[in-house]
Every structure is written in structure tokens, then in C-alpha cells.
Amino acid sequence: MGTSDLKVSIVGLGTWQFSDSWGIKDYEQAKSIIEKALDVGINFFDTAAVYGRGLSEQFLGRAIKELGVREDVVIATKLPGEFLSRHDVFKGTKRCLERLGVSYIDLMQVHWPPLWNNFPTCEYMRALEELVHHGVIRYIGLSDFPVELVDSAILCLSTENVVSNQVRYNLVERDAEKELIPYAEAYGMSIIAWSPLAKGALTGKYTPENIPKFNDVRGGSAIFHPQNFSQIYEVVKLLKSIGEKYKKTPAQVALNWLLMSSESVIVIPGAKNPEQVEENAGAADWRMSFGNWLTLEEASSKVRISRVTW
Ligand SMILES: NC(=O)c1ccc[n+]([C@@H]2O[C@H](COP(=O)([O-])OP(=O)(O)OC[C@H]3O[C@@H](n4cnc5c(N)ncnc54)[C@H](OP(=O)(O)O)[C@@H]3O)[C@@H](O)[C@H]2O)c1
């Protein structure tokens, strides 16, 4: 991971799914997903204080403890942009440690920059650096930060570095390629790609005729709006046909494409069941041909997602 000594699987597990937003609220179900992730070689788990207001951290920490794998896994969590005054960075981190039931967090990320609270960048970055010195977090990461603010954040630090930026990146939402990925490559930072399956849109199970009425975080999502999904579906059809050649699923091809696009990229697909985790892990141990990569590059370049849906 970036310039750190953390060794992570390039396919990790996103655990926002353990929340009201995505619907997994049963601990045993969450544990079965985590257990399967470990079985198939995933050692990197992403959570956040806000996922289910702590539920995701609780489930993840409890499963890791019950399975006895704390030293074998890399835990990344996040403090929301509202928790970034100096004293709240300390208090918020203490709560994360308690919910996770651990004595240290491998990667603490700033979930998004402070928007309306006016905290100076150096206030929270220096507080995070102090937490590294106290040994309760090992490394500092950012999330949803533009490059200008990543620069400012790095300049606040004396002894530590920013090892990662977690940003939206999938085959049909590629804005990260414009600045964020080149910046990460230049400075040896990892890009942790969130929504790498475009919230399930790239898995092939949804069609323009069969977009369910989602009663989760996807209700009203721009990705599934007919004006956008009809374009996305053209890419899904290619994912299917390319996948047939390699005996891979559309989800595996979509993740493989991201991993081929930059060595700085790590993907953290979320999963609703153990089968999905196993399938997603199968994105990592092969490479599609350059020709197939280019076909997807060209097709996805034509997709123009608009968020002006009303
Ligand atoms: N930093 C940030 O601001 C931020 C924002 C968003 C997410 N994240 C992180 O990124 C992680 C992943 O992003 P995401 O959850 O938004 O979207 P995603 O990973 O693109 O999509 C996840 C959803 O796709 C479906 N799916 C996953 N694997 C599948 C497979 N193999 N076959 C069929 N369907 C499959 C599942 O939903 P269904 O089965 O219900 O379709 C799953 O809940 C989150 O868990 C979270 O850790 C971070």
C-alpha cells in the first residue's frame, strides 16, 4: 500500500454493505462474507465510522476477533469530514478502536474533506500524525480528496506520509484518471477504488428492462437512471462477451480492467454474500489481452454519465 509496509491483496473487501444503507444487519451473514474473503486470500478490509453508524466496524472487528486473524489482516477505517476538529479526531478514533475491538488501526482515512465546518487542513492532519506517534493508527490515508487538497494535506505532516487516496473509480466512472491516478503514481500513493462495480451495474445481472426498484442506497441513483444505464449496458454486453472467452464473469472482467489500468489501483468491491466475494477475488490472478482491454477502454470512453437526472 503506497509507501507503507502494509501488504494488501489488490482485491479487498468493502464493508459498507453491513448497514441500513445496503441492508446486511445480521452479524452471522456479515461474518460468513468476511470468512469467505479470508478463505480466498483477501486480507484488506475497508470500513468507516459512518457505515451503519458503527455497525460495519462492530461486525468487522467482532469477526476478526472470533476468527483470530488480527495480525493477518489490514483494517482501514475512516473519520467523516464532520469529525475533524483536533479533539474530535482523537475522540472519533477512540470510538473506532472501541467498535473494532482492536488496539491499533492499520490505515485511518479522512472520509471526505470538511465541507461546512471550516476546519483547517493542518488541524486534522497533525492530529492524525499524533495518533501515529501514539501507536493507535499505523498509516494515514485520504478519501475523496482532490489533488490540490492532497498536496496541502501532505505539507502539514512532519514525519508521516499520505499513503492512499480512496476515490470512486470504475469502468464507467473514470474521472479519477484525469488527475488523481497520475498524481498517485507520481508520488507512490495507492488509489483505493470504491464502487469498482458501479454499485452492481457492471455485474451483468441488471438490464435496462430489469432494473429493480432498489430499496437501498441505490434508490434514485444516477447510475441506474435510464439515461445513464442504457449507455452503461452497452459496456456490460462487452464485459459478458469478453468474459466468455476467459471463462470469467462480467464482474471479474470489470475489476480486472481496473487493476490493469494502473499499478497504483486496489479495488474494494462490496459483497452481499460469500459467493460474490469469491467471484470478485477471481478478478486478480489473470490478465485480459491488451486488445480486450482496449475494446473496453473505447466503449467506456463513450459513456457519459450525467447526474442531472431531474
Ligand atoms: N470512500 C467513499 O466515499 C466510499 C463511497 C462508497 C463506497 N466506499 C467503499 O467501497 C466499497 C464498495 O463500493 P460500493 O459498495 O459502493 O459498490 P460496488 O462495490 O461497486 O458494488 C457492490 C454491490 O454490487 C453487488 N455485487 C458485488 N459483487 C457482485 C458479484 N460478483 N456479482 C453480482 N453482484 C455483485 C452487490 O449488490 P447487489 O447484490 O444487491 O446488487 C454489492 O453490494 C464499499 O463497501 C465501501 O467500503 C467508499
- CATH code for the domain of 111: 3.20.20.100
**What average pLDDT does this structure show over 243-259?**
98
Q: Are 270 and 203 in contact (CB under 8 A)?
A: no
| Cell 507503507 -> residue | 4
Q: What is the pLDDT of residue 219?
A: 87
| Coil, strand or helix at 191 | strand
d(CA 81, CA 209): 38
Q: How far is the CA of 97 from the centre of ligand 1 (A)?
A: 24
Q: What is the pLDDT of residue 212?
A: 82
Q: What sign does the dihedral 65-66-68-69 (CA atoms) show?
A: negative
102 lies in a domain? yes
Q: How far is the CA of 5 from the centre of ligand 1 (A)?
A: 27
Quick one: pLDDT band at residue 7, thresholds 50, 70, 90? Answer: very high
21 lies in a domain? yes
129 lies in a domain? yes
Quick one: pLDDT band at residue 203, thresholds 50, 70, 90? Answer: very high
**What average pLDDT does this structure show over 106-127?**
97
104 dihedral zone (left: phi>0; alpha: psi -120 to 50; beta): beta
Q: Are 243 and 225 in contact (CB under 8 A)?
A: no
Q: How far is the CA of 14 from the centre of ligand 1 (A)?
A: 7
**What average pLDDT does this structure show over 56-67?**
98
| Residue of 166, 197, 267, 277 with the most ligand 1 atoms within 8 Å of its CB, for mutation | 197
**What average pLDDT does this structure show over 115-143?**
97
72 lies in a domain? yes
DSSP H or E run through 151: helix 147-155
Q: What is the pLDDT of residue 32?
A: 98
| Cell 475533524 -> residue | 84
Evaluate if residue 16 carries a pLDDT over 90. yes
Percent of the chain with pLDDT over 90: 97
93 lies in a domain? yes
Percent of the chain with pLDDT over 70: 100
Quick one: pLDDT band at residue 98, thresholds 50, 70, 90? Answer: very high
**What average pLDDT does this structure show over 277-301?**
97
The ligand 1 atom at the shortest distance from the C-alpha of residue 206 is 41
Question: Total domain count for the chain?
Answer: 1
**What average pLDDT does this structure show over 58-79?**
98
Q: What sign does the dihedral 36-68-44-84 (CA atoms) show?
A: positive
252 lies in a domain? no
Quick check: is 51 catalytic?
Answer: yes
**What average pLDDT does this structure show over 48-72?**
98
Indicate the pTM of the whole model.
0.98
Quick one: pLDDT band at residue 156, thresholds 50, 70, 90? Answer: very high
Q: What is the pLDDT of residue 262?
A: 96
Q: How far is the CA of 268 from the centre of ligand 1 (A)?
A: 8
Domain residues for the domain of 164 are: 13-200+258-274
**What average pLDDT does this structure show over 84-91?**
98
- Short-list 288, 283, 293, CA closest to 11: 283
**What average pLDDT does this structure show over 275-304?**
97
Quick one: pLDDT band at residue 36, thresholds 50, 70, 90? Answer: very high
Q: Average model confidence (pLDDT) for the chain?
A: 97
**What average pLDDT does this structure show over 230-249?**
98
144 lies in a domain? yes
Evaluate if residue 263 carries a pLDDT over 90. yes
Evaluate if residue 276 carries a pLDDT over 90. yes
Around ligand 1, the residues with Cβ closer than 6 Å are 14-17, 22, 46, 111, 143-144, 166, 194-200, 203, 205, 251, 268-272, 276, 279-280
Q: For residue 302, give the C-alpha cell.
A: 463513450
253 lies in a domain? no
Q: What is the pLDDT of residue 211?
A: 87
**What average pLDDT does this structure show over 96-124?**
97
